Amino acid sequence: MKGTQALPLLLVGALAAGGVLYVGKRQSAGPGSATPDPMEQLRAFTERETGLTFHSAPSIVPIPANELREVIGGSLDRRFGPDGLIHRSRAYELLQLVPPGQDLRELLIAAQGAGARAWFDEQSGTIHTIAAFDPSRPDDRATLVRLLTRQLCHRTNPPPATHPGDDAWITRQAIHGGIAAGVQARFNQDDGGRFALPTAEETEREAILLSLPVYLHNLVQIGGLQGRDYVEARRIEGAAPWQQALNQAPARSLDLFTTAVPSTPGPPLPETPGTTVFQESLGAYSSMLLSLIHN
């Protein structure tokens, strides 16, 4: 009988103890506690990994998915001028960098916008996201880390007011893209790795990239290839691992293929009154691709 009478007392005691533990957990969490903001987590990771700081909030603008091509095209027009890509289409056609009759502007839009759910505009320094973009989705999280890194590099090392020439532009893409690729790789590693099957967007992007002319296929991926190799070789341990790579960023693609300290820029060409001096060149990177095409 005593055992039977003790059972209800034990149950009451267990319920009371459970209640105390539940209240304790609620109090330790705090009345205003909430799930961490994914955007803030990604921003903090990017700042910690790059050693750079967002002195103002990241610039992220949502747009409808069907407007992305227009946004990319507008950025290209501002970068190269109203007829810049028309002239380059013809020049690249003569050099056999692109097939006859190809529209370089449309090819670049396709290369940059293929399967993209977010995109960084190097002209305005803005990240554009489509409506379906979700910073809690694994692939979107990794994409946002890469684009936030591009934005930090852009703010730390702003572009010149006018187009600096094709070779300098390509080199800038390599350096900033290489840093962003390295940070994204570290994020994927910390986030448990990317072992999932490719998303529909990733499959679409790969298919379009493979369909591009060899020159553009390599140009679009220069950050993850030559650029990443270059900056990783110059990454230093400490609070600002990429600062040196940005401060001493080369202005020509030839330096991407060397392991030596980037050379200092040469003296500017003398000004000639009344004459426009054409200062652009294909550069070492484009010349290398040109040789690959003809071999």
Close Cβ partners of 108 (under 8 Å, ≥ 6 residues apart): 72, 76, 85, 216
- Residue 48: alpha-carbon gap to chain centroid: 16
* Pure H helices in the chain: 2-29, 38-50, 68-80, 84-94, 104-113, 138-156, 166-190, 200-211, 214-220, 228-233, 243-247, 283-294
Q: Which pairs count as long-range contacts for 59-64, CB under 8 Å and 24+ apart, including other chains? A: 59/124, 59/125, 59/126, 59/127, 59/151, 60/126, 60/127, 60/128, 60/129, 61/126, 61/127, 61/128, 61/129, 62/128, 62/129, 62/130, 62/131, 62/133, 63/128, 63/129, 63/130, 64/130, 64/131
Q: So what's the pLDDT on residue 280?
A: 58
Q: Which amino acid is at 163?
A: H
Contact of 188 with 89, CB cutoff 8 Å = no
Q: Which amino acid is at 166?
A: D
Residue 115 has pLDDT above 70, yes or no: yes
Between these two residues, 122 and 28, which has the higher pLDDT value?
122
Residue 28 has pLDDT above 50, yes or no: no
Average pLDDT over residues 188-197: 74
| Closest C-alpha among 149, 8, 16, 166 to residue 76 | 166
Please state, rounded to an integer, the average pLDDT across all residues of the chain.
82
For the entire predicted model, the pTM comes to 0.80
Q: How far apart are CA 70 and CA 66, in angstroms?
A: 8
Residue 271's pLDDT band, with cuts at 50, 70 and 90, is low
Q: How far apart are CA 186 and CA 259, in angstroms?
A: 23
N-term to C-term CA, the chain: 98
Contact of 170 with 222, CB cutoff 8 Å = yes
Residue 286's pLDDT band, with cuts at 50, 70 and 90, is confident
Contact of 103 with 89, CB cutoff 8 Å = yes
Task: Provide φ and ψ at 246, rounded to 5°.
Answer: -80, -45
Average pLDDT over residues 45-66: 95
Q: So what's the pLDDT on residue 19?
A: 43
What DSSP character marks residue 63? E
Residue 196 has pLDDT above 90, yes or no: no
Residue 259's pLDDT band, with cuts at 50, 70 and 90, is low
